[in-house]
Chains A and B, each alone.
Chain A
Amino acid sequence: MDLHKADKSPAAKTDARKGARALRVGGVSVRYDVRAVVLTLLMGLVALAVAVLLVLVGGGDFPMSPGDVFQTLLGNGAMAQEFIVLDVRLPRVLTALLVGAALGLSGAVFQSVSRNPLGSPDMLGFSQGAMVGALLMIVVFRGNTWTIAAGALVGCLITGVLVYLLAWKRGVHGYRLVLVGIAASAMLTAVLQYLLTKANLADATEAMVWLTGSLDGRGWEQVWPMAAACVVLVPLILRHGRSLRMMEMGDDAAFALGVPVERVRVALIVLAVLLMGAATAAAGPIIFVSLSAPQVARRLTRAPGPNLVASALMGSALLIVADWAAQSAFGERQLPVGVVTGVVGGCYLLWLLVTERKAGRL
């Protein structure tokens, strides 16, 4: 449960290990870990490779040789080819990369803030908040893509604020945040199910597809807002990475090292909720990516701290691979990517619970 307690030994080990190096240029010095850097780059490469593969080979029914795709990308393709490549495959892949990175990063922030490997946005009710917002738009206001996305974003934000305020009592403690989040997600699930029973079958089916999280039919109108959100929010979050790392040692220690703990925490939660909301608005609630990406990244890099960049790249890699699997693994029947992440993530979660318990960490 106490991440900071568990982190003491790996942290000590890292410092003793040869992998940690320091880069000094003039007065600036950055400490880095060779293994972590190499593996982070590797994750990015995997994500990129699968993305390129998906664009070139594709997962759909339309047969195209990679050469044709390449020509199309250079602007020499036929109409149909241009449509398939530029308006179907490319935006889908870009959405997957961006959404995956956003989910991975916001998961890393929340797990670090709540000091709990299970304290991810999908456990704390933020996804449910986004779902309720989107479903209100689908069922009650019969909104279009834009208003549904806006509903998701607003729902996510309101839930984030409420959970934070309810968990506030002379500061926000990780435990309370998690438990209040659990209660919030139960209540929001009730509202969600109520809305589902109110809908007619057609709306309910549309809502179910949205609720599972899917990358089908994502176009440029999803890519641009998502890219804008990432460009603004990701650097802001990364800027706080150092403070976050110190906060993992405990609030008192971080405060003594000059981190304004509560202010940083509020800022990070708001930023991560916004990122999560943007991702949910673009692709629906894709579960378990924000839970598993930071954990997998942490295990691969074996570096202490929140591992923000590695988590983001891992999120991209996970989501794009899951989307590839969802498109190709079930033959004719293409599943929404949320089903794949749900099933894989569920198994991963069980494994996590078992191993964390054995290590006495959970």
Chain B
Amino acid sequence: MLGLLVSVGLLVLVVLASIAVGAKNIPLAEVWHGLWHYSGTPDDVIVRDVRVPRTILGILVGAALGTAGAVMQGLTRNPLAEPGILGVNAGASAAVVSAISFFGVTSLTGYVWFAFLGAAVVSAVVYVLGGSRGATPVRLALAGTAATAALFGYVNAVQLLDSAALERLRFWTVGSLASADMAVVGKVWPFIVAGLVLALVLARPLNAMEMGEDSARSLGVHLTRTRVLSMVAVTLLCGAATAACGPIVFVGLMVPHLVRAVTGPDMRWILPYATVLAPVLLLGSDVVGRVVSRPSELQVGIVTALIGGPVFIHLVRRRRMGQL
């Protein structure tokens, strides 16, 4: 419990940093003024209309990805499961790219549904192809990577044939919080909150499933229902997060592992911790990305990939072959 409070404290710190630090250097007093006494100066506009929505979106998306990662790792009993690695985000991307290029959808409200569809189809396909039963981590990761490669090949082809779409998409496909505004936040929060609640409710059955399917069944867990609901939660979370800011990898991988080091294997603790700590990682990466290459920015998806890749390699190297 204390740990959770500390995590919330960390989150608050990162949120403050995210509002105070940016590509433009604004003194703290000005930031404070902009927050509480909005008077329309350029600095006020930056704080109110750029940094605050961006921070809120970062919290939402981070929570969504971290929780989705924790649910996937619990469901597949697989230490390498992650929405980015398993191709769920790529599915959402491919669907969004099709929506923008072929159906002329331009608003987030329009393409968030495509993102859900893409995420749902790909997560189901990868789960089945990776061997729903007795799936080894390698098999699942390979199925996901294969799907990702195929889908991004498609995304590239579309971008190539449609130069106007390329102009819009090359920023979106990186994974960035930079285009956040309150309208985007308003569109995605219901989906993400619904997904989070669903995931937290599933903590108990997922706990039981980690002990093996037979034990879970004998403890009264409805296996199919738990699987389907977990997939729904993952789809809601990843689809909404991807629609809002493009594919972001490795957040869902790293956070549950860090959390598990603190809490042990109990999903009832892992999920809330992941929900709180993943935004810390995402917003932290975003703040780092804003600072390192001033005056321009490094997109958050790039920062998380560069931090997450080594973590993934470390996990692969640490585990003995039997566990992998």
Contacts and interface: CB of A to CB of B under 8 A. Distances in A.
A179 B316 contact: yes
A239 interface: no
B150 interface: yes
Interface residues of A, number: 49
Interface of B: 80, 84-85, 129, 131, 136, 138-139, 141-143, 145-146, 149-154, 156-157, 159-161, 163, 166-167, 170-171, 173-174, 249-250, 298-299, 301-302, 305-306, 308-310, 312-313, 316-317, 321, 324
Contacts of A1: 136, 138-139
A208 B159 contact: yes
A212 B158 CA distance: 11
B301 A123 contact: no
Given A190-B305, A193-B173, 18 more contacts: A118-B142, A123-B145, A179-B141, A183-B310, A186-B85, A186-B305, A189-B152, A190-B309, A194-B298, A196-B170, A197-B299, A201-B167, A205-B166, A209-B160, A287-B149, A345-B150, A349-B146, A354-B129
Contact of B129 (A180, A209, A343, A357): A357
B317 A342 contact: no
A201 B159 CA distance: 12
A208 B166 contact: yes
B138 A212 contact: no
Contact of A212 (B156, B301, B324): B156
A84 interface: no
A284 to B, nearest CB: 11
Interface stretch (A9-17, A168-176, A217-225, A270-278): A168-176
Interface of A: 1, 116, 118, 122-123, 166, 169, 173, 175-176, 178-180, 182-187, 189-191, 193-194, 196-197, 201, 204-205, 208-209, 211-212, 287-288, 333, 335-336, 339, 342-343, 345-346, 349-350, 353-354, 357, 362
Contacts of B316: 176, 179-180, 183
Contacts of B321: 173, 175
A353 B153 contact: no
Given A179-B141, A184-B309, A342 B157 contact: yes
Nearest to A333: B161
Given A179-B80, A190-B302, A204-B166, A350 B150 contact: yes
B153 A343 contact: yes
B153 A346 contact: yes
A193 B174 CA distance: 6
